[in-house]
Amino acid sequence: MSNYKYAPLEVRDLERVWQIESCAHSHPWQRSMIDDLNSRGAMHFGMFDGDILIGYFYAQNIVGEVSLLNVAVAPEFQGQGVGSRLVSYLIQRCERLKVESIWLEVRESNVIAQNLYLNSGFNEVDRRRGYYPTSSGREDAILMSYYV
C-alpha cells in the first residue's frame, strides 16, 4: 500500500465517491450530502491508488472537536486495510491540528467497523437508541470517542 496517497476530495472526485457510497452502505447518504465539500470545518479526504479513488472519509472540525461522519471503501478494496489506513490518516491530521477529540456513531450491526474503530484507539461512550433506519425498523448507534 505504499503507492497510495491521500488528498482532499475535489469536485472531480464526487462521481466516484457516489459510486462507492452507493454500494458500500446499506443506507447511503443522499447525493446532496456527498456533493457538499465546503461545509463548515470540512475535512473530506480520499485515499487514491494513482488517480483512482479507493476510499474516503468525511469529517468536520468544529472548535477542536472532530466528528467522523462517513467512511467508505470501494468493494474491491475492502478487507485490505484501507479503512484502517483512512482512520489512521484522520487521527494523524487531527494530531497535527491539535484537535482535542474525535467522535463518531456506528451502527450496532456494523461489527467490522466497530472493531476497526476499537483497534484504532476509539472507546465506546454511549448509545443512541433507534438512531439508524433499517429495512425492518431502526437500530441503535454506538457513540465512540478518541482523545487526541
User: Domain with 10 in it: what CATH number?
Assistant: 3.40.630.30
**Catalytic annotation on 76?**
no
Q: Which whole number is the average pLDDT over 6-28?
A: 95
Cα 14 to chain centroid, rounded = 15
pLDDT at 2: 58
Residue 123 has pLDDT above 60, yes or no: yes
Cα atoms in the Cβ-side hemisphere of radius 13 Å centred on 85 = 19
User: Under DSSP, is residue 89 helix (H, G, I), strand (E, B) or coil?
Assistant: helix
**Catalytic annotation on 117?**
yes
Give residue for cell 463548515: 40
Residue 115 has pLDDT above 70, yes or no: yes
Domain membership of residue 8 as a residue range: 4-147
**pLDDT bucket at 1, cuts 50 / 70 / 90:** very low
Give residue for cell 491508488: 49
**pLDDT bucket at 27, cuts 50 / 70 / 90:** confident
73 in Cβ contact with 86 (< 8 Å): yes
Return the H-helix or E-strand segment holding 55: strand 52-62
Q: Residue 100 CB: number of other CB atoms within 10 A?
A: 11
Q: Please, what is the average pLDDT of the chain?
A: 95
107 in Cβ contact with 98 (< 8 Å): no
For residue 131, what are the contacts with CB-CB under 8 A and spacing of at least 6? 105, 138, 139, 140, 141
From the candidates 21, 56, 105, 132, which is the catalytic residue?
A: 105
Give the tens place of pLDDT for each residue, 40-90: 999 999 999 999 999 999 999 999 999 999 999 999 999 999 999 999 999
Domain count for the chain: 1
- Give the strand order in the sheet containing 137-147: 4-8, 42-49, 52-62, 65-73, 101-107, 137-147, 123-134
From the candidates 117, 124, 132, 139, which is the catalytic residue?
A: 117
pLDDT at 3: 84
Tell how strand 65-73 and strand 137-147 pair up. Answer: unpaired
pLDDT at 5: 97
